[in-house]
C-alpha cells in the first residue's frame, strides 16, 4: 500500500495546525433546510408576527376604550355626584392617572 492509502485507512488524529494557517479563519455551519423550506418558514413567521401585532393593537384599543369610559364616568360622577360618590370616583381617577404616568415612564426607559 502507498503511504497516502495507509494514512487514510488508519484512524490517526489530524494535526490542524499543519493544515490551517494562522491568518485563516474557518467556520463550520450545518444547514438542513432547503431554500424552499426556508422561504416557507420565513413567510409563516412573518404572517404570525403580523397577526400578533394586529391582535396586540386591537387589545390595546379595547383596553383604552374601557379605561376611557370608566375615566369619563368617574369624572362625571366626581363633578355631579354626592360627597360619598366623589370619594370613590376620585380614587379611581387617581389610580388611572398614576397608571398612565407609570406607563409613560416605563416607555421612556426603552
Domain membership of residue 11 (yes or no) is: no
The pLDDT confidence band at residue 5, using thresholds 50, 70 and 90, is: very low
pLDDT in tens, 63-75: 999 999 999 999 8
Alpha-carbon dihedral 62, 63, 65, 67, rounded to 10 degrees: 160
Domain membership of residue 2 (yes or no) is: no
* Grid coordinates given for 93: 381617577
Find cell 494562522 and name the residue.
22
- What percent of the chain is predicted at pLDDT more than 90? 46
Q: First CA to last CA across the chain, in angstroms?
A: 69
Find cell 488508519 and name the residue.
10
Q: If you ran DSSP here, which 8-state letter would residue 13 be given?
A: P
Domain membership of residue 54 (yes or no) is: yes
In angstroms, rounded to a whole number, what is the distance separating the alpha carbons of residues 74 and 81? 9
The domain of 48 spans 18-108
Q: What is the total count of domains within the chain?
A: 1
Q: Model pTM?
A: 0.57
Written as one string, the DSSP assignment of 30-94 is -----HHHHHHHHHHHHHHHHHHHHHHHHHHHHHHHHHHHHHHHHHHHHHHS-HHHHHHHHHHHH
Q: Residue 95, CB half-sphere, CA atoms under 13 Å: how many?
A: 10
Amino acid at each position: 500500500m502507498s503511504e497516502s492509502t495507509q494514512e487514510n485507512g488508519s484512524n490517526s488524529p489530524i494535526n490542524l495546525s499543519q493544515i490551517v494557517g494562522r491568518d485563516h479563519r474557518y467556520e463550520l455551519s450545518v444547514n438542513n433546510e432547503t431554500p424552499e423550506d426556508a422561504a416557507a418558514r420565513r413567510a409563516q413567521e412573518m404572517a404570525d408576527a403580523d397577526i400578533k401585532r394586529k391582535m396586540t393593537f386591537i387589545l390595546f384599543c379595547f383596553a383604552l376604550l374601557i379605561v376611557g369610559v370608566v375615566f369619563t364616568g368617574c369624572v362625571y360622577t366626581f363633578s355631579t355626584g354626592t360627597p360619598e360618590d366623589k370619594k370613590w370616583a376620585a380614587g379611581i381617577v387617581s389610580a388611572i392617572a398614576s397608571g398612565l404616568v407609570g406607563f409613560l415612564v416605563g416607555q421612556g426607559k426603552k
